[in-house]
Amino acid sequence: MAKVAFLGLGVMGYPMAGHLATKGGHEVTVYNRSTEKAVRWVGQFGGRFEATPRAAATKQDFVMACVGNDDDLRQVTLGPDGAFQAMGRGTVFVDHTTASAEIARELAAAAAERGFAAIDAPVSGGQAGAENGVLTVMCGGDAAVYARAEPVIAAYARACTLMGEAGAGQLAKMCNQICIAGVVQGLAEALHFAKRAGLDTEKLISTISKGAAQSWQMENRYKTMVAGEFEFGFAVDWMRKDLDIVLAEARTNGATLPVTALVDQFYAEVQAMGGHRWDTSSLIARLER
């Protein structure tokens, strides 16, 4: 059992922090920018909340975070009320935000200067994965530090892997998002085509999902894509944030990502249709408008 702070009780962070308290049996202190969620969390899981990341991070063994983007992360760590102002020597910061590899390296260096360590640990598996405690976690950082953090992360993970040094977790998450972009567009085109061709989409998916075209997106999203329902899931705005990070990294490392760049533009069109908060499977909506 450890003393753990969790910063950011959003769609992902709220249930993740809950698993730390219930399944992990840890002593958990939470922080959320808007206090209502922190109050609700403490009502549901016990523990306590603090008004700033700095206060929440005081005298903890581990500080976990899951906020929005690089700027948000910088604010909750390096800001005047940030967690890094309070973290003691030998403690560990674990970041579950999907952010750039650059900020992961920046935070690892800032932590080292202050005598503690940081691990970048973005997740895959969505809201359901967080609620059921079965996320896939991709980590970057020092191996000895990772070995200490992994049993704590296990409270909400089905798979957790150290990919390499600081930033490597974020680079792995970028690969994850590149795969998803291409797969969802392919699935959207197939379903759009099937409807035009007059095929029974139920029969189609129950057949081709048993073959080489099978994917998580196909199994979990085809029904709502056919029905044109997108008010749930992983928001297009978040996906565009992620693809922006991916394309910036590709400009640096020289990778060629033509399909990812194209799908990013398709998501911009979905945003223009009003789909900022729609699930990423809404790529089919721009084909059917």
The residues assigned a catalytic role are 173
Interface with ligand NAP (CB under 6 A), residue from 1, 34, 212, 256: 34
Residues 125 to 144: which contact ligand NAP by CB under 6 A? 126-127
Phi, psi of 213 (to 5 degrees): -85, -5
For tokens 């030998």, name the residue.
Answer: 90
Of 51, 38, 29, nearest in space to 9 by CA? 38
Using the contact rule CB under 6 A, the part of the chain among 43-51, 65-73, 103-111, 260-268 near ligand NAP is 65-73
Interface with ligand NAP (CB under 6 A), residue from 154, 234, 261, 266: 234
- Pairing of β 48-49 and β 27-31: parallel
Interface with ligand NAP (CB under 6 A), residue from 2, 6, 8, 56: 8
Of 109, 29, 123, 105, nearest in space to 67 by CA? 123
Within the chain, strands assigned E span 3-7, 27-31, 48-49, 62-65, 92-95, 117-120, 123-124, 135-140, 157-164
Q: State which residue, 10 or 182, has the beta carbon closest to ligand NAP.
A: 10
Q: Answer yes or no whether residue 13 interacts with ligand NAP by CB under 6 A.
A: yes
Residue type, 50: E
3-state secondary structure of 152: helix
Q: Indicate the residue whose CB is closest to ligand NAP.
A: 10
Interface with ligand NAP (CB under 6 A), residue from 32, 52, 177, 281: 32
Q: Answer yes or no whether residue 281 interacts with ligand NAP by CB under 6 A.
A: no
Q: Answer yes or no whether residue 76 interacts with ligand NAP by CB under 6 A.
A: yes
The DSSP bridge partners found for residue 273 are none
Q: State which residue, 126 or 167, has the beta carbon closest to ligand NAP.
A: 126
Kindly list the residues in this chain that would bind ligand NAP in the complex (CB under 6 A).
8-13, 32-34, 37, 66-68, 72, 75-76, 97-98, 123-124, 126-127, 234, 238
